Every structure is written in C-alpha cells, then in structure tokens.
Amino acid sequence: MGTAHGSPHIHVNNEMAGGFVGTASEAEGAIQEFLEIAFVPEFHTMLVVLSTLILGAAAGMIGTFLLLRKQSLMGDALSHATLPGIGIAFMVMVAFGGSGKNMPGLLIGAAVFGLVGAGSVLFITRNTRLKSDAALGIVLSVYFGLGVALLGIIQQMPTGSAAGLNSFIYGKPSTVIIEDLYLIAGVALAVTIVCTLLFKELALLCFDECFASAQGWPITRLDASMLALATAVLVIGLQAVGLILVIAMLIIPPAAARFWTEKLKPMMIGSAVIGALSGWFGAVISAMATSLPAGAVIVLMATTIFLFSMIFGSSRGILKQAMGQYRLRRKIGHQHLLRACYESLESRIESVADEVFLSKGSSVTFDSLLSKRSWSPKQLRRLIQRSTKSGDVTSHPSTENEIRLTSQGLREGARLVRNHRLWEIYLITHADIAPSHVDRDADQIEHVLDSDLIERLEQLLDTHGAAKSVPASPHELNGGAVS
Amino acid sequence: MAKIDSDKEDVPVQLNASSLAPAPDMSRRIATGDEHPVCPLSIHDMTVAYHRKPVLWDIDLDMPEGKLIGIVGPNGAGKSTLIKACLDLIPKASGLVSYYGKPYSKQRGLVGYVPQRESVDWDFPVSALDVVAMGRYGKIGWCRPVSKAHKKAAFDALDRVGLADYAKRQISQLSGGQQQRVFLARALAQEAKVYFMDEPFAAVDAATEKAIVQILHDLKSTGRTTLVVHHDLQTVREYFDWVVLLNMRIVAAGPVEEVFSQENLQKTYGGKLTLLDQAAQAMAGIKQ
C-alpha cells in the first residue's frame, strides 16, 4: 500500500467509523424505543400490542390441533371466505339505515361466511370425487373473488368510499379500540377453556379418528367445535393481521413448537407462547416504523421464530439431527479403525488377554491400515487421533507411522470383529448368501448389533462352546482389504 | 395353499348358479347352543356399500363366545369393511349388528378395536403410554384428565405386550412391530369382551408375532371373543378356532377343521364372482 493511497483510506475509515457510531446510537435509540413500546406503551399502542399478543396466543393454541388434524389449509379457505361476508354485512347494515361501519356486525358477517366457506369445502369433498386440495383451492379463490367484487361495488356507494373495508385484507391494527380488545380476550378465553377441557378428546380426534369414532366420541361435533374456534380466531384476527396473512398465525407457531418437543401439551403451550411473542414483537416493531404493515411484521416475526426453531429446536431441529448423524459417523469410523487394526494383527494375537503381545507392542503401519479400507490418509490420520484420545490406540510419538492397540482397544477390536463375523456366518448359513457377498452387509450391521441380538446369534450358530473367541473369517481377507 | 393364490388368474370365470346363490348354509348359523342364548356378535343380513357400490352382500354371522376367529379373504374382499361396519364407522346399506343382543351404540364399552397400523400418523407428538391411555378414554368420559388409576391400567396393558420399558418413548421412535403392539395394548386397556383386530400380523417382526399370539390366547382363556383379519393362510390352522372365509359375501364360516377346506378356499380365492362385481359397478352408476 503506497502512502499516496493512505489518506483516502483513512478518510474512508473515518467515514465508516462515523457511520458505525451513528448506527450504534441509532440502534441504541431503536432498542430503547422498542423496550418502551414493548413494556411501557401509551394507552392506544398498548391496546394494539395487547390485542395482537392475545390473538397470537389463541391462534397458536387452536392452531396446534388444526395442524395435527391436517386441516391448516381449511383455515386458509375459511379466512378468504370471510371477505364477501364483510361486504354483504356492510351492505345490509347500510340498507337498514346504519353507517355500515359497525364492527361487531361486520365480524358476524365474516364469521358466517367463514363457516359457509368451510361448509362448501366439506360439501365438495363429500359429494364429488374431487380431493380436498382442489376443493380448498376452489372455495378460497371463488369466495375471495366474490368479496373483491363486492368491495368494488361498495366503493361506488355514497357511504362506501370511507368505509375502509380494504383494511380487512391486509390488516390495520391501529384501528383497534377497547371493545375489540374485549372481544379478542373473550375469544382467547373460550379457546383456552375448550382446549383445556377437551384436551384429550381433541388429541384423540387428531391422532386416530377411527378409534375415536368407534369409542363413541362425536367426531363431527368435535371437528365442528374445533373449526368454530378457528373461525372465531381468524375473524378477530382479520382487523389486526388481515385475511390473507391471518392463517400464518394458525400454522407457523405450532409448526415451530413441534421442533422443541415430542409431547402434545408442551407443544400446545409452546405454540401459544410463540404466537404471543410474534404478536407482541410484531406490533411493537410496526408501531415504531409506521410504514411497515403490522400484519406482515407479525408474520415475519413468527417466521423468524420458526426458522430459529427449525435449526436449533431441541427435539427435531436440523442441528440436533445433524449432531446425531455426525456422532454415528464418528462411532462407525472409530469402530472400522479398531477392526482394521485387529484384523491386521490377527495372526499374531494369541488371545484377547494377550499381555505378552501387548507388551511386545506389535504395531500396524499407517500404510497397511490405509490399504485396508477406502479412506484417505487425512481421514485415517484424524480417526487415529480421535481413537488415541479415547485410549483405544497409541501411535508412536515420533513417527506417527506405527499404531498399536491398547489392551482396551484390543478387547473392543476383538468384540467388533467377532460381531462382524458372527453376522457373516449367519448370513451364509441361514440366509444362503454367498460368502463373497456377506462382508458389505456385515460392515453395516456390526455397528448396531446389541447384546440381545448377539446372544440370539450365538444361540443360532451354537458358538457357546467357543466362549467369546473370535471365529475365523468365513471369507478371504485378501490383499489386506477389509471391505 | 400358496397355489390357490396363483391360480386366481388361471381359473376360468365360472358363472355357475351355485356361486351366486348363498353359500351352503350349514356352517353359517352354528348353534352355539349350550352355554349362551345370546351370542357376543350377531350380524343379520348386512349389506355395505361405498358410494352406492356394494362391497359386502347379505352378511349373516353369529359368532360363538370365547373363540379366536380369523377373517380370511383376498384383497378387496371387504374384510376391513366388515369390521368397520360392525363398529358403525361406515354406514350400512341394510342389516343389523348386535352385541349380546343389543346394538353397538349401547355396547361400546364391551367392544375393543385394533385398527390397521397405517391408519394413523405415527409422527404424532404423544408417547406410547399416551396412546395406550386412549383406550381408557371411553371409561374416563368427557372433559376429565387421565387419572393415576387409568394411567396405571394403561401401563399394565403396555406391560402385557412387553413394552413397559418404552412407555415414555415418542411413538415414531418405535419399530413397526412395537407400534402394532402399542395398538394392541390400547385395545387391551379397553377391557372389552369382543375384540376386532385389523391385520395385526401385517409386517411385524417375529417377537411381535409371538407376543400377539400370546395375547390372543390370553384373551381366549379369559372368555373373550376375538375377530382377526388375517392374511397368512399358512397360520390359520395354528392360530384360530374359527374362520370366516370372505369374498364380498360369506363363502363359509365355522370351526377351522370343518370349514377351512381346499374347496372353500378355492371358492374364496379362485373363481371370482364377476356378476357380483358387475352388479356392484352398475349400482354405482359406473359405465364400463
């Protein structure tokens, strides 16, 4: 770097530093604002935040059962079907001389049409040979189209232009008033009570409908109450999140919660918590940046939690599963190494407790091990390092080219070779598989044979007399190749 | 016996009158006579249809008490349908089913059910014990949680099928055979008198097969009546006292040694009743 270029560099650096200072203080301010709105908001903001929080919790709870009943998309058809209901309710109220902007009236219209939509899906699937995906697609688009058309007509009406019915499509939480909060809290309370009282009934319905029905549970009525609650949640969510995105509140929280648990109750509670957090943070963030539509922010919050759960979930997260795979691969590599060592030394080993052999320290060379399997020198070196740490092998400190089994490694190696060969012999004698074919199978099985299976193999092959000795390989170990 | 299956295609379509007429009646209504005036399961003139297409015609059956009964027939013979119709899971086009003389809706507590393993999603977030406890739900009733006593009963049932150590395990982490045993344990937890099992031996390991056979014998020795949809003709003689040979109608039903004959098997698996099938298609309004 020449000095000629020095000053612009410094200049840029300064600018960047300045920028950082700026963003840092901005970020600080933003965090402060976030915390303020989150914990000590003004009255109206609090109203909005509380309503989306409660809505999220209720949606997460009932969404758990909807997801497990594989009815999530039914919720989507249902929410889209509410739009014509809103339009018709508005028109009816205007026709009877009202302003048409009466919220309970609009929501009743929405709920009625939501249920009509759900009924249409059931009608189509029961009376035609169309599958439910087609039925859902048809109902969703037809009712939504009808709704959009009705809103178009309402726009032309003298009272219609100011009605703001469009906000039901994308949601507008800032329009929430105290009565709406009471309504949301009431629905949430109903959801909580039903999900608690009918917990085992709903669980049974979702898990095994046939068995539930055979036991005499009224599955149609249980399904209906589940859908009715989902409808109630969707309808009260219309105002805040909008009918296009409200379905996300039903699906995403339970799907995220599933990554953390294998039990239903924790899943339901977790889902409610995730829903509540999404509603809370989403509302706060959109209150800070008024240009961001709240519905979208809430859904994005839920998605963030979902992605986090998908990766880090303690029960079925990707990381957890990858760890399991990784551990298994390590174990297999380790066992392959011990078996390769044992088989190389086999001719020189008298017994597993061969102290003389161990003290003499017969060793295997790195190169002879390398030819045993299709592993690269780098892989093999890493395997040897790990097995050295676990105390099964030692390698000569100066050369690192000669590997010895410790007494622990010798015993383990003998056990693995024995398991491998017992399985090979079993395949040859009991499954009529050619000796030339058995090695590859045994290579997979040897890592998973537990003591129970080994015992049964011993019984079958009648190797009791031979105590725990290692049988000779049923096939040639030619050229030192093990696999 | 495997030969019969492979013969299916070769047998020329026989439309003799005898195959359309009801099968010889001798074994159909066996008088259980001596001990019970009312039999545990009585099916009278039952016809079942899917979308108006009959899959079971005019079923008449009286099951004797305390027997192990195998239901055998080719694919599509209506074996599962028979069970489901008896449990009111699908509507009957006609006919009556009664348990100890009363309809199913009054006798649910006396009837246990093991559905096919594939009928549920084993990824569901519940443990083996939770599933078995579902067998107690009928006794627990609405809105109440599973009490300790019921949990204990569920655990005991799980123990009986040899899965006590797996009680807490999530059900997707069980092998297929273990899942089948969980279903069996759930039925045991129902403490019923009549059991329906839909292919409990399908694709299970040897240990599970042994466990199921043991349970079947236990049920028999305690006077329970058990109906099992079964696929493996080789083991019918070994496992069952009674057998129902089914192919859209009852070909024969009765004690294994009397009914399980080459001739009856030929009738069940061999000559297809094409007219029955065609009539069913016609009733469903399907143009050929």
Under an 8 A CB cutoff, do A211 and B113 touch?
A: yes
**Mean pLDDT on B100-127:** 94
Give the residue with greater pLDDT, A53 vs B288.
A53
What does the DSSP assignment read for A30-46?
HHHHHHHHHHS--HHHH
Mutating which of B80, B105, B143 best tests the A interface, going by the most A Cβ atoms within 10 A?
A: B143
- pLDDT surpassing 50 at residue A88: yes
The whole-number pLDDT of residue A365 equals 83
d(CA A382, CA A395): 12
The whole-number pLDDT of residue A291 equals 79
Beta bridge partners of B102: B99
- pLDDT surpassing 50 at residue A7: no
Tell me the pLDDT band of B258, cut-offs 50, 70 and 90: very high
The whole-number pLDDT of residue B37 equals 61
- pLDDT surpassing 80 at residue A467: no
DSSP letter at B271? S
Tell me the pLDDT band of A163, cut-offs 50, 70 and 90: low
Q: What is the ipTM of this complex?
A: 0.84
- pLDDT surpassing 60 at residue A483: no
Distance from the Cα of A201 to chain B's closest Cα (Å) equals: 8
d(CA A316, CA B150): 30
* Chain pair A-B, CB pairs under 8 angstroms: 69
Q: Which of A157-166, A268-277, B41-50 has the lowest mean pLDDT?
A: A157-166
Using the Cβ of B115 and the Cβ atoms of chain A, whether some distance falls under 8 Å is answered with yes
DSSP letter at A229? H
Kind plus residue range of the DSSP H or E element containing B43: strand B41-50
The whole-number pLDDT of residue B192 equals 95
* Tokens of residue B137, six digits: 């739900």
Adjacency order of strands within the sheet including A364-365: A364-365, A402-405, A393-395
- Report the 10 Å Cβ neighbour count for B96: 11
- Dump pLDDT digits (tens) for A337-346: 999 888 888 7
Residue with tokens 């009312």: B38
Residue B70 amino acid letter: G
- Domains in chain A (CATH in brackets) are 26-247 (1.10.3470.10), 326-477 (1.10.10.10)
The whole-number pLDDT of residue B272 equals 58
Is residue A475 left, alpha or beta, with left meaning phi > 0 and alpha meaning psi from -120 to 50? beta
Under an 8 A CB cutoff, do B134 and A207 touch?
A: yes
Under an 8 A CB cutoff, do A207 and B105 touch?
A: no
**Mean pLDDT on A65-94:** 93
Tell me the pLDDT band of A35, cut-offs 50, 70 and 90: confident
The whole-number pLDDT of residue A165 equals 85
The whole-number pLDDT of residue B19 equals 39
* Tokens of residue A182, six digits: 């009471």
- Dump pLDDT digits (tens) for A282-318: 999 988 887 788 889 999 999 999 999 999 999 999 9
d(CA A482, CA A269): 53
Residue-averaged pLDDT of chain B: 85
Task: Give me the count of residues in chain A.
Answer: 483
Percent of chain A with pLDDT over 70: 88
d(CA B188, CA B226): 12
Under an 8 A CB cutoff, do B115 and A208 touch?
A: yes
The answer to whether A423 and A447 are in contact (CB under 8 A) is: no
Exposure on the CB side of residue B222, measured as CA atoms within 13 A: 12
C-alpha torsion sign, points B11, B17, B22, B23: negative
Best CA proximity match to B79, nearest among B202, B258, B191: B202
- Dump pLDDT digits (tens) for A95-141: 888 777 788 899 999 999 999 999 999 999 988 889 989 999 999 99
- Dump pLDDT digits (tens) for A212-244: 999 999 999 999 999 999 999 999 999 888 998
- Dump pLDDT digits (tens) for A349-360: 766 666 666 666
**Mean pLDDT on B61-75:** 93
d(CA B91, CA A271): 37
Under an 8 A CB cutoff, do A216 and B170 touch?
A: no
The whole-number pLDDT of residue A64 equals 97
- Dump pLDDT digits (tens) for B102-114: 999 999 999 999 9
d(CA A264, CA A242): 29
- pLDDT surpassing 80 at residue B35: no
Tell me the pLDDT band of A449, cut-offs 50, 70 and 90: confident
Kind plus residue range of the DSSP H or E element containing B60: strand B53-63
Percent of chain B with pLDDT over 70: 84
The answer to whether A66 and A237 are in contact (CB under 8 A) is: no
Residue-averaged pLDDT of chain A: 85
Of B105, B111, B124, the CB nearest to A207: B124
Residues A428-466 as b/e (b if ≥16 CB within 10 A, e otherwise) read beeeeeeeeebbebbbebbeebeeeebeebeeebebeee
Best CA proximity match to B4, nearest among B277, B253, B247: B247
Distance from the Cα of B45 to chain A's closest Cα (Å) equals: 21
Best CA proximity match to A401, nearest among A387, A380, A386, A417: A380
d(CA A302, CA B207): 46
Using the Cβ of A261 and the Cβ atoms of chain B, whether some distance falls under 8 Å is answered with yes
CA angle A259, A262, A267 (to 5 degrees): 70
Is residue A109 left, alpha or beta, with left meaning phi > 0 and alpha meaning psi from -120 to 50? alpha
- pLDDT surpassing 80 at residue A161: no
The whole-number pLDDT of residue A141 equals 95
Of B88, B143, B186, the CB nearest to A198: B143
